[in-house]
Structure 1
Amino acid sequence: MKADCLAARLALVLVLACPVQALAQGFAGMGSDAQGFAVPQPDPQFAFPQDHGPHPDYRIEWWYLTANLSGPDGTPYGLQWTLFRSALAPGEGPGWDSPQIWFAHAAITTPQAHHSAERFARGGIGQSGVTAAPFEAWIDDWRMAGETLEDVTLTATGDVFSYDMRLQAEGPLVFHGDGGYSVKSAAGQASYYYSQPFFRISGQLTLPEGVVPVTGTAWLDREWSSQPLAEDQTGWDWFSLSFDDGDKLMGFQLRQTDGTVFSSGTWIGPDGATRALQDGEVIASPLETTRVAGRDVPTRWRLEVPGYGVDVEVGAINPDAWMHTSVPYWEGPVVVSGSHAGRGYLEMTGYE
């Protein structure tokens, strides 16, 4: 599910120029009324390649890619590239009349360091945007682009890092929830949500210590909505895991003010066949916390999916993978051990 309130709060930062501390506490703001924006409905009818592009009648949207990489000596690395769209009002407009706000995050994680960067743009002036065919998502010189979304190049540059990658899909798109209609709360808040979890990725990372050729796998999430969280939800823990036997798991829990959680997920077979996991079928329990940026953040978890015999530990490659962005959060690569072995990515928000 990932980045719902990051988009809304960052848009406020950009447009109102107010400090993050002055915004509503936690993530409850995304439980507010949809305010004239379109709202996801059950039984979605996706159309491609059009739906790889933007949906300006919805308030929030993102193109969110994470990758697990290995260097020539086996060193593990993580890569993140995310483009967010957040609207001040439904629809589009010419030039500076566009109500669309764009921003992006990029990061590289190593066992010793975590490097991140952030970009902002206003819609309508060509500085940022997405086209569906040929596919291109960009902000300034950061780009994900190709004739189709099945074969793209990916670039980003920060103050002390950059990367230049190529991604090729080796499996089908995956639709979460009920055919891409992903429910986020008992009250029925939802988003449209699909992924491409079968990317093969290769290229090079440029780090302060030099250039590193890397290969690995990548996972792209596509999601849009207008009111994705309930008022009593404060943040989430999101896992995307690729097991060595070819199965994959997307699972998340939304933490609620009364101490309970709402969970959901998708079990993905090697051929892309899926089964939706309902509330309670994914059980995530923190095992160890790390003091990161003045916060206690769980960086080692026990994750269970009893229906598939999954009982694993999920541990951060680098516990300090904190995104020092306008709205901070934790995002980084993880290693999986226990009943299943593998690797993946973990995102955690709302630890303030």
Structure 2
Amino acid sequence: MTRRQWILFGALLAVVLVASVAAWRPWTTQDSPASSGYAGLGDPAAAGFAEARPGITLDFPADHGTHPDYRIEWWYLTANLESDDGRPFGVQWTLFRQALAPPGAVDFPNADSPWASRQLWMAHAALSTSRQHFEAERFARGMSLDDTRGQAGVETAPFAAWLDDWTLAAPADAASDDASTGAALDQLRVRAAGENFAYDLALDAQGPLVAHGAAGFSQKSADGQGSIYYSQPFYRVSGTLEVKGEPITVSGRAWLDREWSSQLLGPGQQGWDWFSLHLDGGAKLMAFRLRGAGEGGGDYLSGSWISADGRVTPLGADTLRLTPQATREVAGRRLPTVWRLEVPGRGVDVTVRAVNPDQWMDTSFAYWEGMVSVSGSHAGVGYLEMTGY
């Protein structure tokens, strides 16, 4: 294309993306009815999409890729890092896929046209220090105008997820996948940049993939809504950050979540509080509280205790307690930034505290996402996400 053609195409694509974002109902927050839950993720209008349910068998490497029969999906990486002089940093890299319509719901005159894509992509990148927080957001349509790969997408051989030059990818010569180890995700490199920040990090998995819930089905309400959910929580990380032009060498730990669904929440659930913790000694802990739609109308609790060798013990309301301890006003909202987290059967009684209380993601659907410290019966670091406040 000539420069003029690219400019004209860019203007046309901008119009298409505006229309697509307006149609991206599960991620809008302004006009969604309260019964649809946070970001519309409890919207029951999922007819025609596949349903997450117990008994679905995880299949690698295919499940590292896309599931277009489902309405929503994400590849979600968080990292707790430290510089050579001991300063803490947090990094987030997330790619979201949203189906604009179920398979076969729209009869396109030319099904081979790139404009026939029903997939919309959104990416978030963020970097936090103990005092500052930077975030950026991008959108793309799942399409390509030539034989090259599209502006956004995911491939499995070797693994690569991207939106523009924000990438999470295995080396080009990565080994073929092994279902027991998830080798396609064993070694990755993540890169992104926004205003005043950038990162380029190498990830090396030191343990196996982990399936949450019932062999990968993670129930999210007493009514049975849920997702297919697995993680790679055992990454060791090394690389470089850039903060306002300052290059910084870092190392640490990272956690990758893979999740897909067509109705993630119950209609009455307005948000969640989600923890991923790296504990000293090598154990990991994932826990979440979905506010509403639990037994008797209370909150719905779930989680996973992950031993240092990767063995998983599911946690529920009878084995897990999450209690807010202190709140703070952030972006005009009152948020719990200090928590007590208890797993009595494992001797866990810890305080989870935001390292920087102002890690607010001021994106199209706003939420809090940031690094936390862990103290008490166990020490460690991790990430906390809070939505719907």
- TM-score greater than 0.5 by the shorter chain: yes
Within 1, Cα distance between the matches of 2:29 and 2:101?
21
Q: Tell me, yes or no, if structure 1 residue 34 matches structure 2 residue 46.
A: yes
Deviations 1:36-72 (A, max 9, x none): 1000121221211111000000000000000000001
1:28, 1:233 within 8 Å by CA — same for their partners in 2? no
Q: Tell me, yes or no, if structure 1 residue 252 matches structure 2 residue 263.
A: no
Aligned counterpart, 2:64: 52
Q: Tell me, yes or no, if structure 1 residue 153 matches structure 2 residue 189.
A: yes
Change in Cα spacing, 1:128 to 1:289, as seen in structure 2 (3 Å) is same
For 1:97, the aligned partner's letter is: A
Aligned counterpart, 2:3: none
Change in Cα spacing, 1:28 to 1:109, as seen in structure 2 (3 Å) is closer
For residues 31-180 of structure 1, what are the structure 2 equivalents within 5 Å? 31=42, 32-91=44-103, 94=112, 95-125=114-144, 126-146=150-170, 147=174, 148-180=184-216
Change in Cα spacing, 1:280 to 1:231, as seen in structure 2 (3 Å) is farther
RMSD: 2.0
Aligned counterpart, 1:7: none
Within 2, Cα distance between the matches of 1:137 and 1:113?
27
Within 1, Cα distance between the matches of 2:333 and 2:89?
24
Deviations 1:140-187 (A, max 9, x none): 110011133211111001011111111111100000001001111110
Match of 2:345, SS state, is helix
Kindly, what percent of the aligned residue pairs are identical? 56
Within 2, Cα distance between the matches of 1:12 and 1:277?
42
Match of 1:51, SS state, is helix
Within 1, Cα distance between the matches of 2:223 and 2:319?
18
For 1:22, the aligned partner's letter is: D
1:191, 1:223 within 8 Å by CA — same for their partners in 2? yes
Q: Tell me, yes or no, if structure 1 residue 283 matches structure 2 residue 307.
A: no
Aligned counterpart, 1:22: 31
Within 2, Cα distance between the matches of 1:280 and 1:33?
32
Question: Mind listing any 5+ residue stretches in structure 1 that lack a counterpart?
Answer: 1-9
For 1:14, the aligned partner's letter is: V
1:305, 1:311 within 8 Å by CA — same for their partners in 2? yes
Aligned counterpart, 2:351: 313
Within 2, Cα distance between the matches of 1:50 and 1:11?
31
Within 1, Cα distance between the matches of 2:276 and 2:152?
27
Question: Mind listing any 5+ residue stretches in structure 2 that lack a counterpart?
Answer: 1-16, 105-110, 145-149, 175-183
Larger Rg: 2
2:23, 2:100 within 8 Å by CA — same for their partners in 1? no
Scaled by the length of structure 1, what TM-score is found? 0.93
How far off its partner does 1:118 sit? 0.3
Within 2, Cα distance between the matches of 1:209 and 1:261?
44
Deviations 1:270-296 (A, max 9, x none): 000011112342211111111110001
Q: Tell me, yes or no, if structure 1 residue 222 matches structure 2 residue 258.
A: yes
Within 2, Cα distance between the matches of 1:168 and 1:336?
23
How far off its partner does 1:209 sit? 5.2
Match of 2:67, SS state, is coil
Say which of 300, 323, 334 aligns to 2:338: 300
How far off its partner does 1:17 sit? 8.5
Say which of 324, 334, 341 aligns to 2:379: 341
Scaled by the length of structure 2, what TM-score is found? 0.84
For residues 200-215 of structure 1, what are the structure 2 equivalents within 5 Å? 200-208=236-244, 210-215=246-251
Change in Cα spacing, 1:259 to 1:188, as seen in structure 2 (3 Å) is closer
Within 2, Cα distance between the matches of 1:102 and 1:127?
9
2:300, 2:317 within 8 Å by CA — same for their partners in 1? yes
Within 1, Cα distance between the matches of 2:193 and 2:33?
31
How far off its partner does 1:124 sit? 2.0
Match of 2:41, SS state, is helix
For 1:155, the aligned partner's letter is: R
Change in Cα spacing, 1:17 to 1:58, as seen in structure 2 (3 Å) is closer
Within 2, Cα distance between the matches of 1:244 and 1:118?
33
Within 2, Cα distance between the matches of 1:139 and 1:178?
32
For 1:233, the aligned partner's letter is: Q
Deviations 1:78-118 (A, max 9, x none): 00000000101234964111111100100001001000000
1:196, 1:221 within 8 Å by CA — same for their partners in 2? yes
How far off its partner does 1:22 sit? 2.8
1:71, 1:212 within 8 Å by CA — same for their partners in 2? yes
Aligned counterpart, 1:322: 360
For 1:74, the aligned partner's letter is: G
Q: Higher mean Cα deviation, 125-134 or 33-42?
A: 33-42
How far off its partner does 1:24 sit? 3.1
2:350, 2:377 within 8 Å by CA — same for their partners in 1? yes
Within 2, Cα distance between the matches of 1:115 and 1:33?
35
